[in-house]
A and B are shown apart, each in its own frame.
Chain A
Amino acid sequence: MYKVDPKTGKQKFYSTAGFQSIASALISILIGLIVGMLIIIFVGLTREEISTKGMLEGVKLVFFGLFNTGRVDNQLTFGFNPVNFGNMLFRGIPLIMTGLSVAVAFKTGLFNIGAPGQYLMSTAATLYVAIVVPTETVPAWLVWVFAFGAGIIAGALWGAIPGLLKATLNINEVITCIMTNWIAANLVTWFFDVRDYLKNSDEAGKIGYIKTTASNGVETAKMGLDKLFPGSQVNGGIVIAIVIAILIYIMMTKTTFGYKLKACGSNRHAAKYAGINDKASIIASMAIAGGLAGAGASLYYLSGHTEFYWSTYMSLPAEGFNGIPVALLASNHPIGVIFAGIFMSLLNIDGLMIKSLTAYNEYIADIIIASIVYLSAFAMIVKQVIGRKGRKAGNTNVNDEPDPALLEAQRAAAKAAMQVEANDAEPAPAEEEGGNK
């Protein structure tokens, strides 16, 4: 299947799975950006109020909006913009976390489209704890920890529901996730609707928003990042998010627990036969996914100055859904999620720059993101096309494995199985055998 160099016996770099993942991600991004550029040009040519100069500026900002430093003498200037960089990192936090959430679920064979619901439940729990626990009696850092913990637990419990239904009754998690999303949206709105003391009534123009956690003195530590990116919203949350991503990577690839989760994802029945408690694994992976999405919401709102619009029963948070493109772009690799999350955030910054500097608006970024998701749906085929270049007798059928997530999980499981074999280690699942029967 893989092209091997005849001299060294090593696999050629362009046929490795990692290279193909990165290449297909880059191609998806490029096509997505081109789609955005074409729309900018199309609109620029058809609408009278947009000049050719405005159109070209729009195109420039699609690609380099992050580096924009404003407008001098009616010309866009480019360079290092600390505010944009810092805000990119800050807005990347929830995207990295929801991306991890979706990626962990994908790795274990589940499609977690329930991240928006988990995100909302965690938002409610986090804000409630961070605002209600008095900082006069409890140290602020401890309140922060409590609020963070409450958010993770709320997300994990909410994520466990689809997991439970999948494990025990074999109901498709996509459907249950969609239902729990909207239940969460209504529950959270109801929760805040009847609690007026949580609403921000002090400041004018903040009607409909919940108090910030900073009003109770609870804020994420800046960890010196505000010196590096002065004027931006960045804080230590990004460091926490990156650490969590690394921990998830270690959990999924280096521990027995992660191996069990992946084994269940690639073949539930085979895993059960090998002595893995398949039901517990499915519930656990959905709970972890929910906890990660919850952590994203916690970190976002614990920054202290982000505001939550509580009447959300008609809509779900975009951060939740944007975890899906992040995970797809990263081929569900936890370390890749860090970069993919920050890249998505970069697109959002580009969108804001386009909104403030041209006649276009910020939704162009969403169009690019959606195009990338659409392309990721058949990223497998892109990968196959790249792979085929180095292959003479292709015995692989593109259509055999329609589900890239499943294939990824299977490949990971196979790799893990080989490692276990090579190390002559005790078969991973054996220790828990019979324990949950």
Chain B
Amino acid sequence: MVFLIQQTMIYAIPLMIVALAGIFAERSGVINLALEGIMIFGAFIGVLFVRTMQENQTFTQEQGQLLVLLAFLVAAVCGALFSLLLSFSAITLKADQTIGGTALNMLAPAIVLFFITMIAQQNVLRMFTGDSASWFMIKPTTFGYDRDYEFGFFGNLFLNKVYITTYLCIIIFVVLSVILYKTRFGLRLRSCGENPQASDSLGINVYKMRYIGTTISGFLAGAGGFTYALTTSNCAATGEVAGYGFLALAVMIFGNWTPLNVALGGILFGLFKCIAATYATLDINGDGVYMLAEIGISPYVYRLLPYLITLIVLAFTSKKSRAPKAEGIPYDKGQR
């Protein structure tokens, strides 16, 4: 059970945080198709930071937690900077947001692969030494206990073989959700996605709000990208995140643009991902994943199920879908 829950969390957490990124952009009125691209960029920057720090021996293996926190922050900030390209084209120049997002989705893997190949002479940028488990995973030894110290069920679940980024993401998710719904700033941001003209008439700077929304979106997507690279691909950047950004978009629509539903959607889709990914692995811990495999359903079914479910949900809720009304429409002061 512990294994199943932890694996699901590993897949669900990046989904949740990136879907929240989508919410922030769309609630402010900007469609952020570039989530995938920003994730790729964030993953690359985070891994590059870790690699460079290791190369210069700035951090020892004991300081791994500090290093991973810094890398997380750097990836998030660079994601935010990268998303400014989208903001500039979508908000300032009032260009088509889907095309702008598509451009970023193409630009990110191109730039990232260009530099990865320049640096590593191959398509993968790995850590300089060691692997993400030995450097960044929280283990009994992190707390000063013996290697085979027993935490008990809950201790095992939350403290053994987990990454600090998981908790960081959960805290950020909760804090930002509260900000979006319980503060004046959040209300203003959401109003810009629903009726920017009305917001403007009340003295809210719509352009500024949309810039803030998209930048927060970039920050979260960059962080999510690094979290993905750290937890699922052994802290390596490959110029792709296997469609995770688009999956997060699906989660956002599935969750009807509200954080609580998005969290549930993220966990559900994370479970599918987890089943598909651990499908072929041996039943080490007796956790029931193997049982699911033995039913005989192809892993591809689990892989495509999130997208299919999203399509079906869209089909059934299209009449009462609560997408932000003004999303995708550039704000023009002169328009009535």
Q: Interface of A with B (CB < 8 Å)?
A: 39, 43, 47, 111, 113, 165, 169-171, 174-176, 178-183, 185-187, 189-190, 193-194, 313-316, 321, 324-325, 328, 359-361, 363-364, 366-367, 369-371, 373-374, 376-378, 380-381, 397-400, 402-405
In the docked arrangement, what's the CA distance between A363 and B304, Å? 29
Q: Does B265 belong to the interface (CB within 8 Å)? A: no
Query: Which B residues lie within 8 Å of A171 (CB)?
Result: 314-315, 318
* B311 partner, pick from A180, A364, A399, beta carbons under 8 A: A180
In the docked arrangement, what's the CA distance between A400 and B332, Å? 8
Known A-B contacts A171-B314, A363-B110, A373-B106; the reply to A328 vs B243 at CB < 8 A is no
Q: Does B38 belong to the interface (CB within 8 Å)? A: no
Cβ A179 vs Cβ B113 within 8 A: no
Cβ A402 vs Cβ B95 within 8 A: yes
* A381 partner, pick from B85, B93, B99, beta carbons under 8 A: B93
Cβ A111 vs Cβ B98 within 8 A: yes
What are 17 A-B contacts defined by CB distance under 8 Å?
A111-B98, A111-B99, A113-B98, A178-B249, A179-B310, A180-B307, A321-B102, A325-B106, A360-B114, A363-B110, A363-B111, A366-B113, A369-B106, A373-B103, A377-B100, A378-B94, A402-B96
Q: Interface of B with A (CB < 8 Å)?
A: 33, 85, 89, 93-96, 98-100, 102-107, 109-111, 113-114, 117-118, 240, 242-243, 246-247, 249-250, 253, 298, 300-301, 303-304, 307-308, 310-311, 314-315, 318-319, 329-330, 332, 334-335
* A182 partner, pick from B105, B110, B111, B304, beta carbons under 8 A: B304
Most A-side CB within 10 Å, residue of B96, B253, B314: B96
In the docked arrangement, what's the CA distance between A39 and B115, Å? 10
Counted as pairs of residues, one from A and one from B, with CB atoms less than 8 Å apart, the total is 153
Known A-B contacts A397-B334, A405-B96; the reply to A373 vs B102 at CB < 8 A is yes
B102 to chain A, nearest CB (A): 6
Specify the main secondary structure of chain A where it touches its partner.
helix
Query: Which A residues lie within 8 Å of B242 (CB)?
Result: 314-315
Query: Which A residues lie within 8 Å of B113 (CB)?
Result: 361, 363, 366
B312 to chain A, nearest CB (A): 10
Known A-B contacts A175-B249, A361-B117; the reply to A183 vs B304 at CB < 8 A is yes
Cβ A399 vs Cβ B330 within 8 A: yes
In the docked arrangement, what's the CA distance between A183 and B301, Å? 9
Query: Beyond A374-B85, A376-B103, A378-B93: 16 further Cβ-contacts under 8 Å?
Result: A113-B102, A165-B311, A180-B307, A182-B246, A186-B300, A193-B300, A314-B240, A321-B102, A361-B113, A367-B107, A370-B103, A371-B103, A377-B96, A378-B89, A402-B94, A402-B95
Known A-B contacts A321-B106, A374-B107; the reply to A169 vs B304 at CB < 8 A is no
Cβ A377 vs Cβ B253 within 8 A: no
Query: Which A residues lie within 8 Å of B102 (CB)?
Result: 113, 321, 324, 373
In the docked arrangement, what's the CA distance between A397 and B315, Å? 37
B199 to chain A, nearest CB (A): 18
* A366 partner, pick from B109, B310, B332, beta carbons under 8 A: B109
A350 to chain B, nearest CB (A): 14
Cβ A381 vs Cβ B95 within 8 A: yes
Query: Which B residues lie within 8 Å of A380 (CB)?
Result: 95
Cβ A328 vs Cβ B99 within 8 A: yes
Q: Which residue of B lies closest to A40 (CB)?
A: B114
In the docked arrangement, what's the CA distance between A268 and B319, Å? 18
Query: Which B residues lie within 8 Å of A374 (CB)?
Result: 85, 89, 100, 103-104, 107
* B110 partner, pick from A174, A315, A370, A397, beta carbons under 8 A: A370
Cβ A182 vs Cβ B314 within 8 A: no
Query: Which B residues lie within 8 Å of A405 (CB)?
Result: 96
